[in-house]
Amino acid sequence: MKTTQPAIETRGLAKDFGRTKALDGLKLSVAAGEVHGFLGPNGAGKSTTLRILLGLIRPTAGTVRVFGLDPWADPVAVHRDVAYVPGDVSLWPNLSGGEVIDLLTGLRGGADESLRRDLIEEFEFDPRKKARTYSRGNRQKVALIAAFARPARLYLLDEPSAGLDPVMDAVFRRQIARVTGDGATVLLSSHILSEVEQLCDRLTIIRSGVAVETGTLGELRHLQRTHFRVMGLSDGARLAAVPGAHGVRIAGGTAEFDADPAYLGAVLAAIAEPGVSGLSVAPPSLESLFLRHYSEGGSGGNSTGRGGSQSSSNSSSEVR
């Protein structure tokens, strides 16, 4: 169920740790009911943002609201509506996994026992073992089961599938579909770009504490170059003369190049030859959108993305 009030809204959000600026005027808006991807490399400010949203640390400047509430001024009310999963889960070593789940869900009013049982079964988790015996993946399962075992309005997920194998990652994705189907909002911080592409309605790319891109994947793709492969092209010089065609390479009658979105019409006209026997077009991947801001020595900045670099890597890669 979507409402006009954003689930999350920050304006001019800043956080300094001594001389280090973790956040530098972050603007972030997450609509109620959406899955919002939150992307950036380590040190970009993602975890700091989540800790501010939880009311664990106080911002240096700016405003932050979670369902209209200030999490620093009213953390108890905010925590009633929020489930949180960190990327590196630490557990009480002498408690069993089941006891930890009960402790964590108890902080939000207790688990739905039917959900708890189903989640333990789906995640193939043994709750009887002591937490100190768990692998990283099993520690992550504890946090995920605790988060999903009681309904929440907002799920703050910081690298939630870290340590999960592909089978358990599929279980995690099904749980995201379930809670959003019930109207919940999800802010998903992840390095796994295929996960973001599959799950997220919109995304924000953050760099050095500033949001450098926000929108749907389709909207952001329109700012990036498209990759072309043309078979049977005879007049490469005509194509190379098009201002929006970049990196034209011709070998054995096959041309490969990247094209700016504003020049797609001119590019198509340049390759419209009787001898052309094949054409393949690859839209920009999420990886290329992400890496543009980090692959040029930090020169991505707040540019619109026109003329940014194009990565040929598969979008299912994990960027660290």
Of the candidates 114, 111, 179, 206, the one whose C-alpha atom is nearest the C-alpha of residue 149 is 111
Higher per-residue pLDDT: 43 or 128:
128
pLDDT band at 143; cut points 50, 70, 90: very high
For residue 228, the SS3 value is strand
Residue 305 confidence (pLDDT) above 60? no
- Mean pLDDT for all residues in the chain: 86
pLDDT in tens, 105-117: 998 999 999 999 9
Exposed/middle/buried for residue 127 (C-beta within 10 Å: 0-12, 13-18, 19+): middle
Per-residue pLDDT averaged across 56-66, rounded? 97
Report d(CA 293, CA 300) in Å as an integer.
4
pLDDT for 155 equals 98
Q: Which CATH architecture has domain 225-282?
A: 2-Layer Sandwich (3.30)
| 302-309 average pLDDT score | 35
pLDDT of residue 293: 60
Structure tokens at 226: 């498209």
Q: What pLDDT does residue 116 have?
A: 97
**What distance in Å separates the CA atoms of residue 249 and residue 50, rounded to the nearest whole number?**
45
pLDDT tens digits along 115-125: 999 999 999 99
**Percentage of residues of the chain with pLDDT beyond 90:** 57
pLDDT at 223: 64
How far apart CA 197 and CA 59 sit, in angstroms, is 30
Overall average pLDDT of the 129-142 stretch: 96
> For the chain, what are the domain ranges?
8-215, 225-282
Yes or no: say if 315 and 287 are a contact pair by the CB < 8 Å rule: yes
Q: Tell me whether strands 185-189 and 202-207 are parallel, antiparallel or unpaired.
A: unpaired
The DSSP string of 97-117 is: HHHHHHHHHHTTT---HHHHH
The share of the chain scoring above pLDDT 70, in percent, equals 87
> What class, spelled out in words, does domain 8-215 have in CATH?
alpha beta
pLDDT for position 301:
38
Residue carrying the six token digits 């909002």:
185
Find the range with the poorest average confidence among 14-23, 88-97, 294-303: 294-303
Q: Residues 206-251: pLDDT tens digits?
A: 989 999 889 988 777 666 778 889 998 877 788 888 888 888 888 8
**What residue has token string 């009681």?**
150
Cβ-based neighbours of 266, under 8 Å, separated by 6 or more: 242, 243, 244
What interhelical angle do 113-122 and 97-106 show, nearest 10? 140
Task: Supply the pLDDT for residue 43.
Answer: 86
- Strand order through the sheet with 82-85: 82-85, 154-158, 185-189, 35-39, 202-207, 210-215
- pLDDT of the residue at 242: 87
